[in-house]
Amino acid sequence: MRIPFFLFVFATALQAQTAELEEYIEVRPGTLPIILTVPHGGTLKPDNVLARRYGVTGIDSNTISLAELIIEELEARYGGKPHAIISRLSRTKLDPNRDLAEAAQGDPTATASWHRFNDSTQKACDTVMKKSGAGLLLDIHGHRHLDQRVELGYLVKGDILKHSDAELNADTALIASTCIRDLDKRSPQSFAELLRGPQSLGGLLEYRGFRCLPSPSKASPTFMAGYFSGVYDVAAHGSRDGGTVSAIQVECPWNNVRDTPEHQRRFAVALADSLGIYFEVHFGRKLK
């Protein structure tokens, strides 16, 4: 039976759009209870996608190559890969770490790409919850603040981090508003320890040679210093609004982390090693 011409044209166009979206937003299924999202490392600037008219458009250079090394190091240690969702589009065309209106600004291809990025991230979270019970999403970014530390964002503003440990632990409304809400319930350690104790992610990375904020050595940002506490991805896909996948925005400095392949590898090793301990301490399970 002959297929009507208009159906053939429609099917061909749909196939082309699917291939296009797969090129723009790379989705890799994993087996570990870890999800990596990389929203701002892309460089593709296709002519068929309109440039964004407002919002931040700078690239987080080398975050895709850094994520690739993190994936390698996790697999080498724990025998499985994390789920990974990577935007290959330039931030001038799409920012998947913002709500749809600001992210795509009405362009239909950017809109479809935003949905692929965020729907795939949520699907990965659902898979982790179903197979492992709970997990961790790491949203990989880059910053160029003067204080070249790894900034870890939990949806806790810098001025709130200035509060004492006792104040943080007593603030139930604050804890409920963070992207590690579920992990706080699971961990045997206090909320303040989760943020900046020796076995926080910042503490574990510092032990391996990477200065972090928050951490045991730097509980809160210096006055007027930059600090990214987390935005859309960790808010939408972390455990703030439910679920058992918690999230951390990982803002990597340029110096000694993203600047060279050697430094990227060293950080990937440190992060992979840290996550093994992090899961044992706070999730009560081994990654391997």
Question: What pLDDT digit, counting tens, does each position of 203-216 carry?
Answer: 999 999 999 999 99
Q: Would you say residue 14 has pLDDT above 60? A: no
Give pTM, 2 decimals: 0.94
Q: What is the pLDDT averaged over residues 272-279? A: 98
Q: What is the pLDDT averaged over residues 38-54? A: 98
Q: Distance between CA 288 and CA 286 in Å, rounded?
A: 6
Confidence of residue 5 (pLDDT cuts 50, 70, 90): very low
Percent of the chain with pLDDT over 90: 91
Percent of the chain with pLDDT over 70: 94
What pLDDT does 15 receive?
A: 54
Q: Distance between CA 256 and CA 40 in Å, rounded?
A: 19
Question: What pLDDT digit, counting tens, does each position of 235-250 carry?
Answer: 999 999 999 999 999 9
What pLDDT does 1 receive?
A: 55
- Domains of the chain in start order, with CATH, are 38-283 (3.40.630)
Q: Edge-to-edge strand order for the sheet containing 135-143?
A: 25-28, 83-87, 34-38, 135-143, 245-253, 150-153, 212-213
What Rg, from alpha-carbon coordinates, does the chain have?
19
Q: Would you say residue 89 has pLDDT above 80? A: yes
What pLDDT does 8 receive?
A: 40
